[in-house]
A and B are shown apart, each in its own frame.
Chain A
């Protein structure tokens, strides 16, 4: 029989068995955490003990942990073990203030490598694949995280590192790369290098699978990547505070990312009230590690905005699926009483062929009313000199954004090249409102 799962025991666990496992592991996590200076004090203050948790819903009685807590207790405040036991650290590149650092012992690294292998298997990658990891190694988790996962899975790994597109193409051709991991924005540039070298990745490589992640992207971007390279592209989600990649991954159905609930307790909360939201509604992802010994984190506020996709996945895995990340809770703004994430607007624009994907949202106060001005570029090749066509385009974009975010924008068409090109995390929202972020209690208009 063909092997369908990396770990059938865990991946298709029934709902009740999964909850039972979570309760068991959460109590163990509390026990581990209580050995760290930070949680020891906190648990004493809040009267939290191991064995307190009888039902996984009781996790709501536990306090949240924030990035600020990690920074304030830098570097060892969350460490549960003597340094002798620790074998690796990964750290964010904080340019201001303390970086965020996560420590791992051998158990933690093995657990992470296993989750990563499970994730790759879930996306259809097998030990027969040649996997090129086009990603920076070092403190960034995307390099070593994937590396250990590929090796655990048993595929042939090419630790290519980031950049140097011509060398990436040569590696692909020399070793017959069948699968690769890269950030979505890089793949666009790589494709251009293929083209300028007179090559077509569809014909001139053996690529069949791409894994994309580490930066927010839309489903339209994924489809473009799939067309450019003639592959299937799978969404990968992770964050260094939860190890790195391998937290949640798409399966062959490409309809949301299975988040590994034997390793994490997953909650979605309203970022303002911190109350849980129902499945299907967007909110901030809150995660608790269940299998990390050196540095457990309890109810960590990831600041990533997503939702649980309701219903069962056809692949048979019982772990729930999260939707692609639509932004950071910090990026969210409120206009006319509606919560808006810039990625929602980007998603609308990417579906309209006449406009480019570069845009700028400016929040302004006009005659005492807050307005959202969305500037979009009209693509050169679509311009036919017809004023009515452009007027209709403006109306169409206005209506589509309004349908998506429920607040009516003021859409302005601009000449190509006048909006700064996005380099990774570009500024997409400028808030020039008189009262800054206003949170008036008016209904969506």
Chain B
């Protein structure tokens, strides 16, 4: 199963850079990112990286609040309407998600949609039942 790296982040100058600096020092490649902002002065930074375990360890060691969260990665065509087609399938499978990341893979003209869901096992089963293909970890992390 694949993981995203979730980080507690305050909306303060320099805090984001502190995170990216740790990743730079550890030679972690960020494939995709999204920030969920809240009104309370903090948010959650979700990252898709080439080595989630290594990123988790490095950030954790620096005292940063970090968690690994299971995600489901799906493939779609990198063309107009590709995302809509995929989301329709996901909705038909009755899978609800909390947040999403996306990235394209130029070589194969495809794109990846990464979803964080409440019930991981149940969502997988529903997607499988609809014949929606779930990507392998290393492909999600962009390592092959």
Contacts and interface: CB of A to CB of B under 8 A. Distances in A.
Interface stretch (A81-89, A226-234, A378-386): A378-386
A418 B14 CA distance: 12
Nearest to B42: A413
Given A412-B41, A412-B42, A417 B63 contact: yes
B1 to A, nearest CB: 15
A412 B63 CA distance: 19
Contact of B67 (A385, A415, A416): A385
Tell me whether chain A's interface is mostly helix, strand or loop, or mixed. Answer: mixed
Interface stretch (B2-10, B77-85, B103-111, B130-138): B2-10
B63 A390 contact: no
B40 A416 contact: no
Nearest to B116: A385
Interface in B56-82: 60, 63-69
A380 B40 CA distance: 18
Contacts of B38: 387, 390-391
B15 interface: yes
B10 A390 contact: no
Nearest to B5: A385
Contacts of B43: 387
B65 A383 contact: yes
Contacts of A413: 8, 40, 42
Contact of B10 (A380, A385, A411, A414): A414
Interface string A404-434: 0000000111111110000000000000000
B63 A385 contact: no
B90 interface: no
A218 interface: no
B89 to A, nearest CB: 26
B9 to A, nearest CB: 7
B41 A415 contact: no
Given A412-B40, A413-B42, A378 B63 contact: no
A387 B46 CA distance: 11
B22 interface: no
A394 B40 CA distance: 9
Range for the number of chain A residues in contact with chain B: 10 to 19
Nearest to B8: A383
Tell me whether chain B's interface is mostly helix, strand or loop, or mixed. Answer: strand
B8 A378 contact: yes
B40 A418 contact: no
Contacts of B98: 387
Interface string B2-39: 00001111100001000000000000000000001010
A403 to B, nearest CB: 20
A414 B42 contact: yes
B44 interface: yes
Nearest to A373: B41
A214 B54 CA distance: 45
A416 B65 contact: yes
Nearest to B43: A387
A380 B7 CA distance: 10
Given A378-B8, A385-B6, A387-B44, A415 B15 contact: yes
A389 B42 CA distance: 13
A414 B8 CA distance: 8
Contacts of B63: 380, 416-417
25 contacts: A380-B60, A380-B64, A380-B65, A383-B6, A383-B8, A383-B65, A383-B66, A383-B67, A385-B6, A385-B44, A385-B69, A387-B38, A387-B43, A390-B38, A390-B42, A390-B44, A394-B40, A412-B42, A413-B8, A413-B40, A413-B42, A414-B10, A415-B8, A415-B9, A416-B63
Given A391-B40, A414-B10, A416-B63, 16 more contacts: A380-B64, A380-B65, A380-B66, A384-B69, A385-B7, A385-B68, A387-B36, A387-B43, A387-B44, A387-B98, A390-B42, A394-B40, A411-B40, A413-B8, A414-B42, A415-B65
Interface of B: 6-10, 15, 36, 38, 40-44, 46, 60, 63-69, 98
Report, nearest first, the 8 A-B pairs whose CB atoms are least far apart: A385-B6, A385-B67, A383-B65, A385-B69, A384-B67, A380-B65, A417-B63, A412-B41
